[in-house]
Structure formats: structure tokens, C-alpha cells
Amino acid sequence: MTAFRDKVHAEQMAWKSRQLPHVREAGWWQGQRYDHILPRSASAQNLWEGLRDGGVRPIEPWLDENAAQLSPPVPRGPSSTGITGVPVPTHDDGLQ
């Protein structure tokens, strides 16, 4: 990594530790596991509280109405490919 990326990564890890100390798992992006990314099970905690379920303007109804989702489903199985066509490793992120 470059010095800039190292600094950004350190800042993201510090934010995650400060704001969400109970979230210890890593998240996934483009088939790679990253410790500074929230796991899908905690992805709503990255939203402003007003957009979460029960908030003043929850995002879930909008997502449902527009057939959108917060993150793409994780493909399963040995022949799975990601959105970019890059093979995605089989893993269990606790969302089955």
C-alpha cells in the first residue's frame, strides 16, 4: 500500500473501533475480505440513524419500492462469480 492508503485504512479502522466497537468481523468487497469494511450483518449501522429501520425516513421501504438492496447477495458455490466476473470465494458471513 501507499502511504496515503495506509493512512486511510488506519483512519477507517479507528472509526470502526470507536463507533462500532461491538463489530469485530470483517466485511467483503469484490470477493476479498477487508477488516475495515463492515460485515453485511452490520451494514445498516453505517447509515445515518434516520435512514435505518424505525428511523424518521427509513431506507428499507425505498429499497423495496425500487427493487434495490444495500449490498449485492454473496454468490455461493465453487463456480460463483462476482458482478465483475471475478470468481468469488465461498465463505460464510453469517447471513444464510
Q: Does residue 85 sit within a domain?
A: no
The number of domains in the chain is 1
Q: Per-residue pLDDT averaged across 63-86, rounded?
A: 57
- The DSSP output letter for 81 is B
Q: Residue 95 is which amino acid?
A: L
pTM (two decimals):
0.53
Q: Does residue 9 sit within a domain?
A: yes
Given a cut of 50, whether residue 28 has pLDDT beyond it is yes
Tell me what percent of the residues of the chain surpass a pLDDT of 70.
70
Report pLDDT for 18: 92
Q: Does residue 96 sit within a domain?
A: no
Confidence of residue 72 (pLDDT cuts 50, 70, 90): low
Detail the DSSP E strand segments found in the chain.
Answer: 27-29, 32-34
Q: Per-residue pLDDT averaged across 22-35, rounded?
A: 91
Print the domain residue range for 30. Answer: 3-65
Helix (H, G, I), strand (E, B) or coil at 34: strand
Average pLDDT, whole number, for the chain? 75
Q: Residue 16 is which amino acid?
A: K
Q: Does residue 83 sit within a domain?
A: no
Q: Could you give the CA distance from residue 74 to residue 83 in angstroms, rounded to a whole number?
A: 10
Q: Could you give the CA distance from residue 89 to residue 31 in angstroms, rounded to a whole number?
A: 6
Report pLDDT for 7: 94
Of 65, 61, 63, 87, give the one whose Cα is nearest residue 74.
87
Q: Does residue 12 sit within a domain?
A: yes
Q: Which residue has the higher pLDDT, 26 or 91?
A: 26
